Amino acid sequence: MIALTINGKPRRFDAPLKVDALLGALELTGKRIALERNGDIVPRSSFGDQWLDDGDQIEIVVAVGGG
């Protein structure tokens, strides 16, 4: 079990996961997002490499197009 705080809301997941798996679980795969982990921006190129730790604070911003 891993507990994360995502955009200020507590969430629990059954097993440790990487950033890209988190985005999949949140149905954000393929969307234009910015992700911050414990105050540091995570580069998109690192999403598949970075494991999340129990207690991490995650902020996710989804880009929205408009006209």
Specify the CATH number for the domain of residue 21.
3.10.20.30
24 within some domain = yes
Q: Is 23 helix (H, G, I), strand (E, B) or coil?
A: helix
pLDDT tens, position by position, 10-39: 999 999 999 999 999 999 998 999 999 999
32 within some domain = yes
19 within some domain = yes
9 within some domain = yes
> Tell me, what's the pLDDT at 67?
62
The model's confidence at residue 65, banded by pLDDT at 50, 70 and 90, is confident
Domain hosting 7: range is 2-62
67 within some domain = no
CA-based torsion, 48, 18, 9, 55: positive or negative: negative
> How many domains in the chain?
1
